[in-house]
Each structure stands twice: as C-alpha cells, then as structure tokens.
Structure 1
Amino acid sequence: MGTGFAIGAALFAVTGIVTVLIWPRERSSAASVASVESSDATAKLDVKQLLRSFIPPTKNCRDFYLALMGRLLLILGWNMISGYQLYILQKYCGLSVKDSAATISTMSVISMVVLIVTSMVSGPLSDRLQRRKVIVAIGSVIIAIGVAIPCFMPNALGMMLFAGIGGAGYGIYIAVDQALNVDVLPSQEEAGKDLGILNLANTVGQVLAPVVVGAIVLATGSYAALFPIAVVAVLLGAVFIILIRRVK
C-alpha cells in the first residue's frame, strides 16, 4: 500500500506543476493593485461584507437547492455501496478475503472503462442536445438499476454488473452534473461561493454514507438492506433534478 500512496503523491505533485506551466497566464495585476491602494473604499477590510459572503443564497435559489439535494442524495446512495464493496462481498455475497480482493480488482477495471467511455460520450451529447437535467436524471436511473442488481444476484457476478451498469450511470452523471450546477447558480457575482456550497454535497454525502450504513447494518444485522435504501436515495436525487425549472 505504501507504494500506491507514494505514486499517488508523486502524480499529484507532477500534475500540479504541469497545470501551472501550461495554464494561460493571467493579465498583469499591477494596475489593479495600484487602483486598490488608492481607493479609500477598498482600503479597509469590511468584516460584515466578508461574513456576508459565507451566507448561502437566499434569492432566486429554488433550482440551486434542488440541484444541491439531488447531488447529495446521489452521492450518498452511490457511496453506500461503492465504499463498502469489500464488506459486501464478504458478508453479503459470502466470498473469501482472497476472492473478494480479486473481485474488487475486476470491478475497478470495469468501472474505470465504462466511466471513461460514458463520460466522454454524454458530455458532448449534452452540449449538442442542449439538455442537462434529463441526462443527469437518466444517469441517476441507470445507477439505481446497477445498485438494485445485487438485491437479486447476491454474488460476485451481481457486484460486477453493479460496477458495469452503475459505473456507466455514474460516468453519465459526473460528465453533465457540474454543467447543470453552473446553469442553476443564483448569482454570477457569487458563483465561486455557490459552487463551493454545491461541492459540499460531495463531502457531506461521503461523510453521511458510513453513518447510514453503520446504522442499517447494526439495526438489521445484514448488508442486504443497503441496496434498496441506496436505490431510493439515488432515485430521490433524480426527482429533485427533474423538478429544476431553469434548465432543460
């Protein structure tokens, strides 16, 4: 595992440097600095304005919060299964530790391939059709189908089908969801802050997943109930996306 972490750290470092080297250089800020220094209005730090910048949007924000809830529920449902594959394979499917590790390796390859393919196709397709929420909702439904399969196939094949079908839906979702989020921003002047709030759905969903999974397993003594609950979460996320009005 140490080798894997070392390679990951090296890749992050290299890609960070490469990004700085190839990214278009910004316009010189010398004139802007001089303007700021000569302006009394901006010379002092406005604490109230700073604190106000952390307040979530309160106007023209219906679609914004629908997108937020849609992403939160989908990330929650997805991570309830993808984050616990090893335990599911051992405790639910009855595989040994060795067979579980081999199955996860196969699932990872399947997910990677289908995710790359579907994300490369669905992004340009969304731009050409000028459709966002429909494609995001379709991706969510495909994820739900993938998650539901192990309910009826509690074995390695069922989990591999989850990786393939669910991974395809997730590829469709991630390719278009961010564009959808940009389209529902209440204010272009506060786009950075609002996108940050939307991105919190990723973190919160990943944090909530262990809490929900732990509660379900403790209450039922099994991993079987994870699948229908995850399906419901993902489909509810799709409903929130469909209710968005501003975006087609």
Structure 2
Amino acid sequence: MASPAAATPAETSPAAATPADARPVGAGWILALTLGVVAVFASWFGPLQILLPAQVDLVSAPGTREGQLALIVGIGAAVSLVATPIWGLISDRIRVRLGTRMPVVYAGTAIGVVGQVVLFTADSGPAMIAGWGLVQLGFNGPFAVLAALIADRVPTAQRGIAGSMFGVGQIVGVIGGTVIAEAVGSGPLGYLVLAVLTPVLLVAIVVADRGRATAKSDGAGPRQPAAGKRAVISVRRFQPTRDYAWAWLLRFLMNLTNAILLLYLYYFLDEVVGATDVAGSVLMVTVITLILSAVCAGATGAASDRLTRRRVFALAGALSTAVGLLLLAAATTIPLVMIAAAVLGLGWGLFIGVDMAIITSTLADDTTSGTLLGVANIANSLPQVVAPALAAPLVVSAAGYPALYGVGAAIAVVAALCLIPLRSVR
C-alpha cells in the first residue's frame, strides 16, 4: 500500500514501524497467503452454501429446516466469536516467545479437520452442531494467523495489494467450496474432500513464511524478548483506537449484509424463484458474484495503493451492495437474480479490496496485532449469529424475502455512513 500523505497511528508509532519499513514481500509469499485463505473459506462456505442446508433437509422434520439451519449456523458462529480473539492472543504470545505464529495453524487445522469428519458421519441435528462447532473453532486459528501475518510481514506500501489478495482468497475459497459441494452431489462426501484439501493448501504459507521469518537482517522479523527477560504483553496495549472501532463497525455491517444474502439463498431460490436445480443455481449465483468480486478486489487493492485512498472504494462498495440487495428483493426469476448477483459482486469486491488495508492501518501496536485482528475477525463471524436472528422472523412473516433483502440494503447504507468519522484513513 502506498503510504498516505497523512500518516496513520499505525504508521507513526514505534511499535508499528518495523512491519511498515520491512522489505517488500514477494509474489510467492502473497500467493501462499492467498492459498491459505482459500483453504479456510472453502471449509467454511462449501458447508454454508450447500452442504449444511442439504444435510439439514435430510435430518430435520418437515417445516423445521429454516429454524434448524439457523440454530446450527448460529451456534457455530457463537463458537467463532469466542475462538477468534483467543487464537489471536495465543498467536501473539507464541510469536513473542518463538518468533512464529505457526503452532496455532497446526493446532487449529487439526481441530477443524476433526469437525469435518464429524459432519461427514452426522445423522442428527446435535451431531451437526458438534461438527460445525469444531470446524468454526479450529479454522479460526489459521485464519487469525493469516490476518496477523499482513501486519507482521507486509510493508505499508504493499498492504493494499496484499489485503486485496486476502479478500480474493476469501472469494476463491467460497467458489471452491461451493464447487466441491456441488461436484459431490451436495452430499457429506464434500466434508471429506475439504478435510484433505484444507491442510494441503495451508502448507504453502507455512513453508513461505518460514523463509520470510528467517530473513531478519532487514528488521522485518518478529522481535524477541531481551536476554533473561520474560516476554510480557501489556493489557494496556489492547486498547483500540477510535478509528479501529469505526473500521470494526464498517466490517461488521458489510459482513452482516453478506450473511443475510448467503444464509437463505438456497431456500430463496427454491421457494421464491422456483429454481429446478437449487444447488446448481446457488453455484451459478455464487460464481457470478464472486468472480466479479475477485476481479474488482484485485484492481481496487492496486488502485488504492497508487492513489493512497481507501475510503472512496469502501463507500462505493457499500452503496453498490445496497443497490444489489434491493434488486434481489424484487427478483422472481433467475435472470433478475443474476443481475442482482453481478451488482453485489462489484460492491463486495470494492469493499474487500480495501478492508484489510483499512483495518491494519488502525493498529497502534504490532506486538498485539494478532489479538486486535482476532477481535476484528469477530466482525466476520458475529454476523453469522445476528443474521439468523434477524432473518428467520422476516422470512417466515408475510413480508418474506423482499423484506429480508430490503433490511440488508439499509444495513449497507449504514455501513457507508461509518466512513464519515474514519478520519485517519484517507
């Protein structure tokens, strides 16, 4: 990311100077980071998009599938709310002591894979809750590390492109997970495929970052405690800045609109649009939305680095998302759904292209970056708790899906308003 003319707190504080002044990361390291994000998001959104709804249809009583799915997703998200800051805190402490966060990747991946195996064998609601809870608990570990590595390793002048590729990895992961789920016929075999694929993809960042962490001659490596002194992380350093709070709220609201879109998309296409192949239609909507998002995010990250501007892209993304959700609220045919999906894809790409650059620019202390980014990741998982509570009453009411997507559009507008007080980010 190009350095803004007005330096942010993260760029001026002594603690943050090391990553900001580090030597540039290479394309291979960014690719490895992206593959890690792909792995985590495939394991989350293949189930969310297709595998969980299809499995709920098999294990739930007639007329209860919406509530059952909301319960499973909501409990899993609640687990994620607790797990993500804890993993971030653990990774900070491990980094200070060992100079690496990778033990969190190993432990979290193992737990997540166990959860996928449980889901493969699940034949009841409680078993699905247990499996999905383990998936959320486990894979928040590597996700927390992947986010923190941007603050650890990436100089300020590259954070736009690195952050946008982090977002592209999320998009590719959603598409990949959905493709896998559809390819195996929406059945539980998809969980096993993901259980093999996820660790394989995460190996790339483990290998790439090992080489990066050993190159300390440029000052980019994690700082070690002085000889004879015990590493201590002060609680005072966890105090977020005002701009961090606004950036957190922006991320939360935008992810809430996305959760509203995805949660009942399977049932919306079945009940309202009347798609003959529901899983195939979910895949088609997902691919259109996310391919456009990926292309837009990559271009946005590079452009924001050159222009040293972030807020204008986030604003355009929030407003485009609002328009897309309004179009979806009025859609009753597949062609109209595809138009809405295209607009939503552009909006989401504009936002995620600068999201990580915005949030990392508000961090004031690199020794607690993992913890603060873990808290920031709550803004990704909390919407999965809020969305079912918000969506279920609307969907079963007389207003139905148009009201649900209309509320989502209003939330996107509120997200745009969060950019007004975010003054340290240009």
**Superposition deviation, residue 231 in structure 1:** 0.3
Deviation at 1:148, TM superposition (A): 1.0
Please tell me the residue identity of whatever aligns with 2:343: I
Pick which of 182-191 and 236-245 moved more.
182-191
What is the rounded CA distance, in whole Å, between the counterparts of 1:216 and 1:32 in structure 2? 53
| Residue 278 of structure 2 is aligned to residue 91 of structure 1 | no
Tell me, yes or no, if the aligned pair for 2:246 and 2:419 is still in contact at 8 Å: yes
**C-alpha offsets along residues 59-79 of structure 1, whole Å, 9 cap, x if unaligned?**
xx2211111111111111121
Number of residues of Structure 1 aligned to a counterpart in Structure 2: 233
RCO comparison, higher one (Cα < 8 Å, 6+): 1
Q: What is aligned with 1:247? A: 425
Change (3 A) 1:84 1:56: farther
User: Given the alignment, which residue of 117, 126, 145 partners 2:295?
Assistant: 117
Indicate the residue corresponding to 2:314 in structure 1: 136
Gaps of 5+ in 1: none
Q: Report the equivalent of 2:239.
A: 57
Does residue 12 (structure 1) correspond to residue 202 (structure 2)? The answer is no
Shift of 1:158: 2.2
Shift of 1:220: 3.7
Q: Deviations over 1:79-131 (max 9, x none)?
A: 111221111122233x05x3333322221221232122111111101101110
* Corresponding residue of 2:355: 177
Q: Among residues 22, 47, 54, which one is paired with 2:208 in the alignment? A: 22
The residue that corresponds to 2:384 in the other structure is 206
Match of 2:414 in 1: 236
Runs of 4+ in 1 over 6 A off after TM superposition: none
Show structure 2 runs of 5+ residues with no match. 1-186
* Cα distance in 2 for residues equivalent to 1:69 and 1:21: 34
d(CA) in 1 for partners of 2:315, 2:266: 28
Instruction: Classify 1:187/1:19 alpha carbon distance in 2 versus 1 (closer, same or farther; 3 Å).
Output: closer
C-alpha distance in 2, partners of 1:80/1:112? 16
- Give 1:202 shift: 0.4
Q: Is the 8 A contact 1:137 1:242 kept in 2?
A: no
Distance of aligned partners of 1:56 and 1:214 in 2 relative to their CA distance in 1, 3 Å threshold: farther
- 8 Å contact kept, 1:110–1:163: yes
**1:26 & 1:128 partners in 2: Cα distance?**
28
Deviation at 1:13, TM superposition (A): 1.2
Verify: 1:164 aligned to 2:346, yes or no. Answer: no
Indicate if the aligned counterparts of 1:76 and 1:205 stay in contact, CA closer than 8 A: yes
Conserved? CA contact 2:320–2:347, under 8 Å: yes
Q: Deviations over 1:133-163 (max 9, x none)?
A: 1111111111111111123333222221222
After TM superposition, give the deviation of residue 219 of structure 1 in Å.
Answer: 4.2
Moved more, 156-165 or 214-223: 214-223
Q: How far off its partner does 1:178 sit? A: 0.6
TM-score by length of 2: 0.50
Give the conservation status (yes or no) of the 8 Å contact 1:134–1:242. Answer: no
Q: Deviations over 1:19-73 (max 9, x none)?
A: 22232253499x958x55x33xx28xx7xx66x36x8525xx2211111111111
Match of 2:251 among 40, 56, 71: 71
TM-score, with normalisation over the residues of structure 1? Answer: 0.83
Identity %, equivalent residues: 26
Question: Residue in 1 aligned with 2:260?
Answer: 80
Deviates more, 1:197-206 or 1:153-162: 153-162
In structure 2, relative to structure 1, the CA distance for the partners of 1:32 and 1:244 (3 Å cut) is closer
Give the Cα–Cα distance (whole angstroms) in 2 for the partners of residues 110 and 191 of structure 1.
Answer: 34
Q: What residue number does 2:188 align with?
A: 2
For residues 214 and 186 of structure 1, the distance between their equivalents in structure 2, rounded to whole angstroms, comes to: 39
1:126 aligns with 2:308: no
Deviations 1:213-239 (A, max 9, x none): 012224446222011100011111111
1:144-155 mapped onto 2 (5 Å cutoff): 144-155=322-333
